[in-house]
A = this chain, B = another copy of it.
């Protein structure tokens, strides 16, 4: 950590700062320049709180050298984390496809779709039971009953299930019944929820918030891992930008960045990442070409009647083609590895 202090600061003020720093297990190297006094901190800088340093008026800036995430950091864990769910391995060489409706709407709907995505080659079934909707007047999901239906669909098709958790009070049930527990973009910094998920032993799918940096995302993963639950799958699903033709701006650069900075697997959601059906296929292919370990896409047998997000849901036959194409891209690139 480097502290940039205004040159010619009163020595008395510098000493006040040094006194604070002394409380942490670090050594200080001082170098006086014409424009600044630089203080280099060496040692366990992780315990240092930069805001306590910045609060001194003589300090212009604090530059962190070490990353603030430790357990998610590839630097301290070189090998890829591979998360096994049934006979799949997320983060290994496989390409995982997760598909299903935005929301579970009825037994018939989820059974039909589950059957179709299974036939098309999906590895897991997604479907929302608890739905975070911008408007209180929109369909809010079937709740616990929706989860029951997902479990039926799993029993029928054998597909493991992915669904979103919205309340700390549901953690026990999700830990028991859900194969991959999704934390949605809006709850990425719901730290109360993240801490609870750290105490269970079920894989978590952590979606990146619309205005979260990649570092923020890794810090949220750190909350879960710090509780002892190391099985976190990260998911890029689009940033909020000024471009409003698409619902979000999918940041595919996040894929190579996450892979270089963290050992956790990363997948991509081109459905929420675009918000438009015609964009889902090109962005899913792009995600795989960029190196994502999987994709999660919305599929609906009757999108025109879907109770949410029909506009970004693929028809089953579109999904069937998509699976073939992503496999073709992966096969084309695997020859170079």
Question: What residues of chain A have their CB less than 8 Å away from a CB belonging to chain B?
Answer: 2, 4, 16-17, 20, 29, 31, 33, 35-36, 38, 40, 42, 46-47, 49, 51-52, 54-57, 63, 65-66, 68, 75, 132-139, 166-169, 186-187, 189-192, 195, 209-211, 213-216, 219, 222-223, 226, 239-246, 249-257, 260, 273-274, 277-279, 282-283, 285-291, 300, 303-311, 313, 321, 324-325, 328-329, 331-333, 335-336
Residue of A36, A57, A313 ringed by the most chain B CB atoms within 10 A: A57
In the assembled complex, how far is the CB of residue A236 from the closest CB belonging to chain B, in whole angstroms? Answer: 11
In the complex, residue of chain B having the shortest beta-carbon distance to the beta carbon of A184: B189
Asked if residues B329 and A289 are in contact (CB atoms below 8 Å), the reply is: yes
Known: A16-B304, A136-B223. 14 other contacts (CB 8 A): A51-B311, A54-B311, A135-B219, A137-B226, A211-B211, A211-B240, A214-B245, A243-B251, A245-B257, A286-B289, A286-B290, A321-B336, A324-B336, A325-B336
With A289-B329, A313-B55: A136-B226 Cβ-Cβ less than 8 Å = yes
With A52-B304, A216-B134, A257-B245: A4-B190 Cβ-Cβ less than 8 Å = no
On chain B, the residues within 8 Å of A285 by CB distance are: 289-290, 333
Asked if residues A66 and B329 are in contact (CB atoms below 8 Å), the reply is: no
Asked if residues B255 and A252 are in contact (CB atoms below 8 Å), the reply is: no
On chain B, the residues within 8 Å of A169 by CB distance are: 168-169
Q: In the complex, A328 Cα to B215 Cα: how many Å?
A: 33
**Could you list some 15 contacts between A and B, CB below 8 A?**
A2-B63, A47-B137, A49-B138, A51-B308, A52-B310, A54-B310, A55-B304, A57-B277, A134-B216, A135-B219, A168-B168, A186-B190, A213-B245, A256-B279, A285-B333
Q: How many copies does the complex hold?
A: 4
Asked if residues A65 and B4 are in contact (CB atoms below 8 Å), the reply is: yes
In the assembled complex, how far is the CB of residue A269 from the closest CB belonging to chain B, in whole angstroms? Answer: 13
Asked if residues B309 and A51 are in contact (CB atoms below 8 Å), the reply is: yes
Residue of B47, B54, B223, B242 touching A241 (CB-CB under 8 A): B242
In the assembled complex, how far is the CB of residue A327 from the closest CB belonging to chain B, in whole angstroms? Answer: 9
Asked if residues B51 and A310 are in contact (CB atoms below 8 Å), the reply is: yes
Q: In the complex, A241 Cα to B287 Cα: how many Å?
A: 20
In the assembled complex, how far is the CB of residue A172 from the closest CB belonging to chain B, in whole angstroms? Answer: 14
Asked if residues A189 and B191 are in contact (CB atoms below 8 Å), the reply is: no
Asked if residues A213 and B252 are in contact (CB atoms below 8 Å), the reply is: no
Asked if residues B304 and A244 are in contact (CB atoms below 8 Å), the reply is: no
Asked if residues A55 and B189 are in contact (CB atoms below 8 Å), the reply is: no
Asked if residues A304 and B255 are in contact (CB atoms below 8 Å), the reply is: no
In the assembled complex, how far is the CB of residue A76 from the closest CB belonging to chain B, in whole angstroms? Answer: 9
In the complex, residue of chain B having the shortest beta-carbon distance to the beta carbon of A247: B253
Asked if residues B286 and A139 are in contact (CB atoms below 8 Å), the reply is: no
Asked if residues A137 and B46 are in contact (CB atoms below 8 Å), the reply is: yes
Asked if residues B257 and A246 are in contact (CB atoms below 8 Å), the reply is: yes
On chain B, the residues within 8 Å of A47 by CB distance are: 137
Asked if residues B291 and A282 are in contact (CB atoms below 8 Å), the reply is: yes
On chain B, the residues within 8 Å of A291 by CB distance are: 282
In the complex, residue of chain B having the shortest beta-carbon distance to the beta carbon of A186: B189
On chain B, the residues within 8 Å of A328 by CB distance are: 332-333, 335-336
Asked if residues B243 and A49 are in contact (CB atoms below 8 Å), the reply is: no
